[in-house]
């Protein structure tokens, strides 16, 4: 059984409108500069671990305007949970839990700390080579299928679902097609684009088949608009950040 996505003129007009409106915004320009670059810097242990930490915490503390606690945490000059810091600490789960409590990022501190500690232990237990090799498959432009394979690998870490796996890759500037579908994206798909069925962010966090179904439609739409999902997502994020700032 297959779904045949039919893109209408209204669909394309909706995409082109938000792209035009947000075309000079910093986040959109960053996607062109990093994600669409022909070649990208190779991923290091520090960069990958930082992206993992940020994406795991973002599940319960969605990024918003610059004023958000999560944005401030990520902008620290010396990242509190940097790879080199973790390497010097024996009680890494305690360190992670107390750090996120201190910065008051989201909830479920114990679960987040456990998942990150287990991910770090797995990486340190001879997994780093595989993790970096997978990510570095994307330092040159690759088809969507390769991006999916790399995201599926990251999805094997405990607590890291389809959304977070793609968030890590986008944080690293590696992906063009596989984007994190969070509440801001689902809100735009449902309310502005009028997606053919209601997209639920909770399902997209955990079910990779549901996730691929939604992204199939987004990729088809972007192809017909001669853009990439990473650029569209940046425009959506930027537009909704502006609305959030107006309501502060």
pLDDT at 31 over 50: yes
Average pLDDT over residues 48-57: 92
For residue 140, the cross-strand partners are 39
Confidence of residue 247 (pLDDT cuts 50, 70, 90): very low
Q: Judging by beta carbons within 10 Å of its beta carbon (0-12, 13-18, 19+), is residue 243 exposed, middle or buried? A: exposed
DSSP 54: H
Q: Say how far apart CA 4 and CA 1 lie, in whole Å.
A: 10
Domain map (residue ranges) of the chain: 9-36+179-246, 45-171
For residue 39, the cross-strand partners are 140
pTM of this prediction exceeds 0.85: yes
Of 138, 139, 164, 158, residue with least CA distance to 150: 138
Both tokens of 199, joined, read 């997209």
Q: Say how far apart CA 113 and CA 101 lie, in whole Å.
A: 10
Give 167-183 pLDDT, tens digit per residue.
999 999 999 999 999 88
């Amino acid at each position: 059984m297959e779904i045949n996505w039919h893109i209408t003129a209204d669909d394309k007009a909706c995409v082109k409108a938000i792209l035009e409106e947000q075309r000079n915004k910093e986040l959109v320009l960053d996607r062109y500069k990093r994600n669409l670059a022909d070649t990208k810097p190779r991923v290091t242990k520090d960069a990958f671990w930082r992206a993992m930490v940020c994406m795991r915490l973002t599940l319960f503390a969605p990024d918003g305007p610059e004023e958000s606690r999560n944005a401030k945490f990520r902008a620290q000059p010396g990242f509190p949970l940097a790879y080199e810091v973790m390497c010097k600490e024996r009680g890494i789960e305690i360190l992670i839990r107390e750090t996120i409590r201190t910065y008051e990022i989201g909830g479920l501190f114990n679960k987040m700390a456990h998942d990150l500690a287990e991910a770090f232990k797995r990486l340190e237990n001879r997994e780093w080579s595989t993790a970096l090799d997978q990510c570095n498959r994307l330092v040159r432009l690759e088809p969507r299928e390769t991006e999916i394979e790399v995201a599926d690998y990251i999805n094997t870490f405990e607590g890291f679902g389809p959304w977070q796996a793609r968030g890590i890759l986008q944080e690293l500037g590696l992906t063009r097609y596989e984007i994190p579908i969070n509440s801001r994206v689902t809100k735009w798909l449902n309310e502005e684009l009028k997606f053919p069925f209601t997209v639920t962010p909770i399902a997209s966090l955990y079910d990779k088949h549901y996730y691929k179904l939604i992204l199939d439609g987004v990729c088809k739409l972007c192809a017909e608009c001669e853009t990439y999902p990473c650029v569209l997502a940046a425009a959506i994020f930027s537009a909704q950040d502006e609305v959030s700032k107006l309501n502060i």
